[in-house]
Chains A and B, each alone.
Chain A
C-alpha cells in the first residue's frame, strides 16, 4: 500500500502531467507552434511525447505500488 505521502506525490504527478498536456494542446502555446511550424508531423510528435510522459508516470506509480 502507498503511504499518504507517496499517494500525494502520485496525484501531483498526474495533475502536473495533465496541466502540461493542457499547455501543449489547449493554450495559446498551441496556436503558436501551429503558426510557426513547417513540418506536417509535428502534432503527432508532440502527441507521442505526451503519451510517453503518461506511460512514464504510470510506470512509476505502478512501481511504487
Chain B
C-alpha cells in the first residue's frame, strides 16, 4: 500500500487546520473556559514533551538500547515528583514577576543583560538540532508511506505551513502578553491524538499481527533474545546520563517551560500534573514494546525508527496508516510551534529589544504592534534556521541522537536553576562562567562530531579520544564532562566573586524572603507616571500600562500617597516585565519613574509592606521567625481590638496605626488614612489630633468636639514613642488614645436631671404651702379693698399685695431655674457670688416642711466670687443643705461658712444632726445609696455633688461624729487655670 504525496500533504494541512479551529474555538469561548482550565487539559498540554522522537524514535531507540528509551520519561517522573520544592517555586516566581521564559528567569535573578543574551543564544543553538529532527521525521515518514524520495520542497513547504500556524496560534493579537487558552487546548488535543494513534497501532500490532496477547507471549517464548535485548543495554548503556538529561529537560526545554509555567492558567493544576503527566507518559510508552516486537517479527521494511508507520502498511487499512501518519505530524508540529513561540519570546526580550531600546531616540508610536511584528518575524527566522540545520545534516541521522544532543545543551542550565532556587550566594560571574565552560565541552564533545559525521566540517577535534574515553557512549561522556565543568566553574567563580546589591535583592526575591520597601517616588500622581513612561514606550502604551497597574492594585487615578505610588511603580515594572522582559522593564522604569532610594523610609510604608509580606510567607516561616510572627500577630490583634481608640504617628506625623475603635469613632477606615499625614485628614480630626500633638499637656479631659453637628466628649492621652536606635537621626513617633465619654456624659446629664426633678418633687408639698400663704394674704387683702375707700389704706394694701406677688414670683423663678439645669454644653460660666448662691439655696430648701424647722445660717463672705455655672453650684449647696436638714432635729441649726485659702474656695456645711456612722461614710457617694425610706430620697444627691465638684477640679470631704453632727467640706479652685491643673494632677494620681 502506498500513498500519494499530495494526499498526505493535504491530510497534514487539514489536521493543522482542525487544531487551529480548536484553538480559535477555545479563545472565542465556544469551548468553555472550564475545559481550558481543567487539570486534565493542562496535563495533556505538557504532552508536547513527546515529539517525533517519542512517536517514532523511541522504537528505534528501544531496538538499539533496550529499556534505556524509558529513561527519557522516568527522568521527567522524578522531576515532577519534586513539584512542591522544584516546580511550584518556579511557577510562583514566573507568575509574581511575569517572567515568560527561562532567559527571563535567569536575567531576573542575575540582573545582567549578558545573562539573558547568553541563555537565549545557547538555547537557540541547542534547540536547532531538535527542530531539524522534527522536519527529518516528517519527511522520512512521508517517504515511508509514499515509497518515493521526497522532494526537498516538501520539507520547505512543511516549514512554511508551520510558520503560518505558529503565527496564528501565538502571534495573532497586538497584546502578546495574555495567556493563550486556545494554544493550551489545541496542544492538549494534539497529545490525545498522539496517544490514541500510538495506542491504535499497538492494538493492531498485538491483535492484528500477533493474533492476541497470548500470541505475542508465544513469540516471546520462541525469541527469548528479544527480552534480553530490552534489559541488557541498561547495564552497559548510558542509563544514568539519560536520566539526568531527562530530569533537566522536563522543565528546562523551552517548550516545557512555556507550557508548564508561562501558559499555566490555573496554579492548582500543577500538583495534579505531578502524577498526571508521568501517567500520560507511561501510557504513551506502553505501546512501544509491542510495536518493536511486531516490527522485529513481521519486518515491515522500514528503519526501526519508522516501525510505527511500517506495520500499519501491513494492515491494508489506509485509515490506520493515515491516523498513524497524522500522529507523527501532530507530534512534530506541536513541538515546533510551541518551541518556536517560546524561543521567539526569548529572542525578542533579550536580543532584539535591548538593541532597539538603546538605539532609539523617539518614543514608540505603538509598542504592542511593533512587538507583534517582531515576534512574527522571529518565528519565521527560527523555523527557517531549523530547516537550514536540517539541510546541512546527513539524511540518515538517528532521531534520538539529535534529540539527545539538544538535551545535553539544555542540561547546562541545571546548575544555574539549582543556584537560583537554593543558593543565594550564586553570582552572575559563576553562572556565565559555568554556562560557557559547559557549553564549550558540549560543542567539542557533541556538536563538532555531529558536523563531522555530516561532512560539514573537518576539524580533527575529538575530545573523547584526547581524554582517553574513546570507547564510551558519546552522550554519557558529553553529559558528564559538560556538567562537571559547568558546576565547578559555577561554584568556584561564585565563591570568589561578590554578588552586587541588585543580585542580592533578586536572590531574596527568588527565595521568597521579605523585601523591605525602598525609597520615595519622584512622581506625584499616576498621570505623571504615564507622562514619563510615554517618552519611551509612547503615550498609548504608557496610558494602558498605568491603567492596568491601577486596576490590578484596585487603586484610582487620584492616588497621591507616596507609599501607594511606590507600589504602583513596582506593579508597572512587573507588568512591563511580561511584555518586554525583566531587564528592559527595570531599565525603563528606573530611567523614567525616578526613585530616591536614599530617602528615609516612611514608617507606615514599612509596616504595611512587612505585614503584607509576612501574610504571604506565613506558611513558610519556621522556628524563631514563626514564633516572632505569632507574637506580632497577637500584639497587633490586641491593639486592633482595644475598646479605646488608638492612633499612632510615625516620625513625619504620618498615621501608622488606626485601630478598629478609631475607625468606628472617626468613620475613616485604616486603609484610607494609613500613611497619610495628619494634615491630610479633614476636620475635626486634623485640628483635634494636631492640636493635641502640639499641646503641652499629656492628657485632656472631657474635651468637647463637634462631629457632624453633634457634640461629643473625649478624654485624650498621648505618649511619645522613643526611637530605639540611638544612631538613627529621626525622632520617634507618638501614640494617641481617645476615650469616648459621650455616652457617659449623656447618662450623667440625665441622672442629674432626674435628681433635680426628684428634688423638686420633694419640695412640691412645701412649694404648694409657700405659694398658698401669700395667695391667702392676697385674697384677704383684695377682699378688704372692695369695701375700702380710704386712699391710704388702699395704697398700703396694694403695696402688700405687690410684695406677696414678688414673693410668689421669686419662689417660682427659683424653682424654674433649678429645674432647668440645662444640657452640659449649654452651661454658661460666669462669676458667681457664693453668698448669694447659698442664700438662694437656703430659700429653696426652706420651701420644704422639714426645711422650715431648721435654722440656716449663711456666714459666707459676700465678696467671694467663683467662676462657674450658677445653677450647678446652687444644686450642690441645695443637696448638702437638704441632707443636713434631714439629719437634724427641729430647732437645730445648720451653718454654711466659706473661706479662701491659696486660691481655693472652701465651703463648710456644719450640722448638729445624727451624724454618719463610720462604716457608711465611704458609701455615701455611691449612686442610689440612701438610708432614707423609699420615696424619701433617691440616693443620687451626694454622687451628683461629687460629680459637679470633681468637674470643677475640687474635692469633697466628710467628717462626722455620730450623734453630734456632720461637717462637709467642699474645696474648689477659684479660677479656671487652677482648675485645669487640679484636674490633671488628680487624674494623674488616679492613673
Q: Using a CB–CB distance below 8 Å, which chain A residues touch chain B?
A: 1-4, 7-8, 10-11, 14-15, 17-18, 21-22, 25-26, 30-31, 34-35, 37-38, 40, 43-44, 47-48, 50-52, 54-55, 58, 61-62
Contacts and interface: CB of A to CB of B under 8 A. Distances in A.
Interface string B186-226: 00000000000000000000000000000000001000000
B81 A34 contact: no
A57 B557 CA distance: 47
A63 B230 CA distance: 40
Interface string B68-94: 001000100110111111000000000
Given A40-B220, A40-B230, A58-B272, A18 B82 contact: yes
Contact of B235 (A1, A34, A44): A34
> Which of the listed residues B231, B285, B618 has the most CB atoms from chain A within 10 Å of its own CB?
B231
Given A25-B243, A52-B275, A55-B274, 13 more contacts: A4-B622, A7-B622, A14-B83, A17-B81, A25-B74, A26-B78, A30-B234, A40-B227, A51-B278, A58-B271, A58-B275, A61-B84, A62-B271
A35 B74 CA distance: 19
A55 B279 CA distance: 10
B220 A44 contact: no
Given A34-B235, A40-B230, A51 B619 contact: no
Contacts of B235: 31, 34-35
A18 B625 CA distance: 28
Contacts of A8: 622
Contacts of A58: 83, 271-272, 274-275
Contacts of A54: 77, 80-81, 274-275, 278
A23 B286 CA distance: 22
Contacts of A61: 84, 271
Contact of A21 (B70, B78, B271, B289): B78
A21 B234 contact: no
Interface string B261-280: 00000000001101100110
Contacts of A50: 77, 81, 278
Contacts of B243: 25-26
Given A18-B78, A58-B271, A48 B282 contact: yes
Contact of B239 (A1, A11, A30, A52): A30
A7 B618 CA distance: 11
Contacts of B621: 4
Contacts of A55: 274-275
A18 B279 CA distance: 16
B85 A11 contact: yes
A61 to B, nearest CB: 7
Interface residues of B, number: 37
B626 to A, nearest CB: 5
Contacts, number: 91
A50 to B, nearest CB: 6
Secondary structure type dominating chain B contacts: helix
Nearest to A10: B84
B791 interface: no
A43 B82 CA distance: 21
Contacts of B80: 54
B240 interface: yes
A34 B279 CA distance: 21
Contacts of B278: 47, 50-51, 54
25 contacts: A2-B619, A3-B619, A3-B626, A4-B620, A4-B621, A4-B622, A4-B623, A4-B626, A11-B84, A14-B82, A14-B84, A15-B85, A17-B81, A21-B78, A25-B243, A35-B235, A38-B227, A40-B220, A40-B230, A47-B278, A52-B275, A54-B275, A55-B275, A58-B83, A58-B275
Nearest to B272: A58
Contacts of A26: 78, 240, 243
Contacts of A30: 234, 239
A19 to B, nearest CB: 10
Contacts of A35: 231, 235
Q: Which 3 residue pairs spanning A and B have beta carbons closest together?
A: A55-B275, A4-B622, A54-B275
B814 to A, nearest CB: 72
Contacts of A17: 81
A2 B84 CA distance: 13
B856 interface: no
Nearest to A31: B235
A32 B623 CA distance: 43
A34 B619 contact: no
Given A14-B82, A26-B240, A44-B282, A37 B74 contact: no
Contacts of A34: 67, 231, 234-235
Contacts of A62: 271
A22 to B, nearest CB: 7
A1 B633 CA distance: 15
B81 A1 contact: no
A55 B620 CA distance: 23
A8 B626 CA distance: 13
Contact of B74 (A2, A40, A47): A47
B631 to A, nearest CB: 15
Interface in B33-90: 67, 70, 74, 77-78, 80-85
Contacts of B81: 14, 17-18, 21, 50, 54
Nearest to A7: B619
Interface string B230-258: 11001100011001000000000000000
B618 A14 contact: no
A11 B422 CA distance: 14
A34 B65 CA distance: 13
A51 B83 CA distance: 13
> Which of the listed residues A8, A35, A50, A58 has the most CB atoms from chain B within 10 Å of its own CB?
A58
B249 to A, nearest CB: 16
A7 B619 CA distance: 7
B619 A4 contact: yes
B134 to A, nearest CB: 26
Contacts of B619: 1-4, 7
B78 A22 contact: yes
Nearest to A36: B231
Contacts of A37: 231
A8 B622 CA distance: 9
A25 B84 contact: no
A48 B282 CA distance: 8
Contacts of A10: 84
A47 B227 contact: no
B289 A31 contact: no
Nearest to A50: B77
Interface string B928-961: 0000000000000000000000000000000000
A49 B898 CA distance: 101
B824 to A, nearest CB: 51
A26 B234 CA distance: 11
Contacts of B82: 14, 18
A5 to B, nearest CB: 9
A30 B239 CA distance: 10
Contacts of A1: 618-619
Contact of A14 (B74, B85, B231, B282): B85
Contacts of A7: 619-620, 622
A21 B75 CA distance: 10
Nearest to A52: B275
A47 B70 contact: yes
A15 to B, nearest CB: 7
B577 to A, nearest CB: 28
A62 B267 CA distance: 13
Interface string B594-634: 00000000000000000000000011111100100000000
B604 to A, nearest CB: 26
B282 A40 contact: no
Given A11-B85, A15-B85, A61-B84, A51 B622 contact: no
A50 B619 CA distance: 28
A21 B73 CA distance: 13
B603 to A, nearest CB: 27
A43 B271 CA distance: 24
